[in-house]
Amino acid sequence: MPTLRRLALLLLLAIPLAACGKEPTPPSKAAEPPTVQGVTVAAVTAQEVVETAEVTGTVKSQTATTLSSKIVSRILALHAREGGEVKAGQLLVELDDQDILMQLRRAEAGLREAEAAVAEVDRSLAAVAATRAAAESQRDLAATTLARYQQLLDKKSVAPQEFDQVAARHKAAAADVERVIAEGQVVLARRQQVLARIESAKAEIASVQVRLGYAKIIAPMAGVVVMKHADVGALAAPGAPLLTIEDSRHYWLDAAVPESQLAGIRRGQALRVAVEAAGLNARATVSEILPVADPGTRTALVRLELPARGGLRSGLFGRIWIPAGRRQVLQVAREALVERGQLQGVYVVGTDNIARFRLIRTGAARPGGLEVLSGLSAGEQVVLRGSERVQDGSRIQQEGK
């Protein structure tokens, strides 16, 4: 046992001595960075951009109307549904018109009765005219006879009694004429009364026919039914809403704009708008700017005329971008951006053509690319296309070089 222990101890001492006798391994040569060819490099540039302020608005139809009844009647039929398209002149609501029809029949009966009375009065007038003609003829004959007897009396050829009898007959004939004229005036007055009754009956018929037309409510314009306020069987009354229709072709976008931003708006100006629910992203013209601001909110109503687009409806949410000045910003193309989880960066190419990954912070997306808030300076070169083949430390050989 002691011999085995001495051998183990000697082996342990010999191992370090053997290691110390070897020469040290020389350091390996640094690896050359990989070269990436066929990538596009572009400089980061500063550009002047128009700053915009975003305000929200509400879509409203340029023309909206609420239909109501002008008479008190029960609803018999509704030929419209919410969301349904209607045409101008289309029948929408039918009301019970039985009472109005009865009034119309009474008015028409009164007119027929008055017209019959006129015919009777005209026959009476014809009779009076004939009687008057006969009476005037008798009066004229009596006047002629009286004149002849006057001459005979002057010659004392007739007795005074005979002359008095002729004068009395003349007087009676003249009285008959006056009586017939008076009767004719009475008949004429009666005729005027009957004619007045006819006019009144005609006016009553016209009035009832107008009320009869109120029993059928038609669409005053083409549009869409946005709300139904009553159902079949309900009692319609003047002023009580039945249907609300809005023009589905012309819409406004109304927005309450802070007074600090009103200086950037003028009538006729085209502003960028968006109504996501209708898929609208276009430019709209400023149509109205209310001259009075709300003292509570310090805002003024601005109204823009939206371009025609299907899917627009009153009440939809919209956005408006208002110019708010200009400033210089750095921009980088979207394709140059490399995302690593929640981090964003680009490969910056130095003067030695080595690409190094650098984290950046981006801002608003603009037509020319992304705004760079920090991490880059104007004039620096970044990998624009082909960044998926680039690693940190890669040597860049650009296209055409």
In angstroms, the CA 21 to CA 50 distance is 76
Q: What is the pLDDT of residue 288?
A: 92
- Residue 256 CA to residue 297 CA, distance in Å, equals 9
CB atoms within 10 A of CB 77: 11
Tens-digit pLDDT profile for residues 168-210:
988 988 898 898 898 889 888 888 998 999 999 999 999 999 9
What is the model's pLDDT at position 105?
93
**Calpha distance 395→393 (Å, rounded):** 6
Q: pTM for the whole thing?
A: 0.56
Q: Report how far residue 122's alpha carbon sits from residue 11's, in angstroms, rounded to the nearest whole number.
A: 160
Residues 6 or more apart from 231 whose CB is under 8 A from it? 75, 78
Inter-helix orientation angle 160-213/98-154, to 10°: 170
Compute the distance between CA of residue 331 and CA of residue 337 in angstroms, rounded to an integer: 11
On the CB side of 273, CA atoms within 13 Å amount to 30
Structure tokens at 363: 């801002």
First to last CA, the chain: 78
pLDDT given at position 207? 92
Residue with tokens 């009440």: 315
For residue 120 the two structure tokens come to 């009777």
Per-residue tokens: 321? 């971008």
State which residues of the chain have pLDDT below 50. Answer: 1-4, 7-10, 12-23, 25, 27, 29-30
Look up residue 298 and give its two tokens. 């310090």
- Asked if 114 and 198 touch (Cβ cutoff 8 Å), the reply is yes
Q: DSSP string spanning 236-294?
A: E-BT-EEEEEE-SS-EEEEEEEEGGGGGG--TT-EEEEEEGGGTEEEEEEEEEE-SS-B
SS3 string of 333-399?
A: CHHHCEEECCEEEEEEECCCCEEEEEECEEEEEECCEEEEEECCCCCCEEEEECHHHCCCCCEEEEC
